Amino acid sequence: MEALSAQQLEDYKAAFELFDRDMDGTITSKEMATALRHLGQNPTEAELQELLAELDQDGNGTIEFEELMALIVKNEGNAQQDIDTEIKEIFTLLDRDNSGFISIQDLKAVAISSGMKLSETEIENMILEADNDGDGQISLEEFYEIVKPALMGGGETEGDDDVADDDIVERPARN
């Protein structure tokens, strides 16, 4: 699992402080209810107690920032596991002959069965794009490298413009 960035940690701390209305370093059941209602939720007392019990690891009746972070890190680990499982399932579907590799023949079979109109060249290019070791097929590891960034929401492809928001210059409107 990847460590949280300084920015993520800062964002979580700011969110925690929004819940911690009296700024005592803890979130009570009442503070949680107030914050959730501001977010459009209307939890029952039972739901609040269940949430508090899940977050309150030391059992003192309040949530400290460290307890919230422990849950966030745990959930990120679970999300990572879900993505890994999903990638393996997709790989298995594409590996039609169960060889442990995705070959040109596997991709042709998938294209035909799904009604995709791909040329031989397009299929070969798909293999070449992911085939890092040059053996003419895609291993699970190579598949991870190409699919995981896309599933994680950070998939940039070659040729994407790398323009940050602060690089964009506003131009005055023409009359």
Pair (68, 99) in one structural domain: no
pLDDT confidence band for 148 (50 / 70 / 90) = confident
Q: Per the domain annotation, does 166 fall within a domain?
A: no
Same domain, 12 and 54: yes
Lookup: tokens for 161: 């413009």
> What distance in Å separates the CA atoms of residue 76 and residue 2, rounded to the nearest whole number?
9
Domain residues for 140?
A: 95-151
Q: How far is CA 153 from the centre of its chain?
A: 6
Domain count across the chain: 2
pTM: 0.48
| 72 pLDDT higher than 50 | yes
Average pLDDT, the chain: 80
CB contact at 8 A, 67 and 90: no
Q: What is the CATH number of the domain that holds 10?
A: 1.10.238.10
* Residues 138 and 132: beta-carbon distance below 8 Å: no
Confidence of residue 152 (pLDDT cuts 50, 70, 90): low
> Quick check: is 80 in a domain?
no
- Judge contact between 16 and 27, C-beta under 8 A: yes
**Is 37 in contact with 26 (CB distance < 8 Å)?**
no
20 CB neighbour count, 10 Å cutoff: 20
Residue 140 has pLDDT above 90, yes or no: yes
pLDDT at residue 162, as a whole number: 41
Q: How many CB atoms lie within 10 A of CB 88?
A: 13
CA 84, 86, 89, 91 dihedral sign is: negative
Please list, in sequence order, all residues whose beta carbon lies within 8 angstroms of the beta carbon of residue 19, skipping any fewer than 6 positions away: 27, 31, 32, 35
SS3 of 8, please?
A: helix
**55 and 102 inside one domain:** no
Query: How many CB atoms are closer than 10 A to CB 47?
Result: 13
pLDDT one-digit tens code per residue, 7-46 = 888 888 888 888 888 999 998 888 888 888 877 788 888 9
Q: Are residues 104 and 66 located together in one domain of the fold?
A: no
Give the Cα separation of 144 and 47 in Å (integer): 38
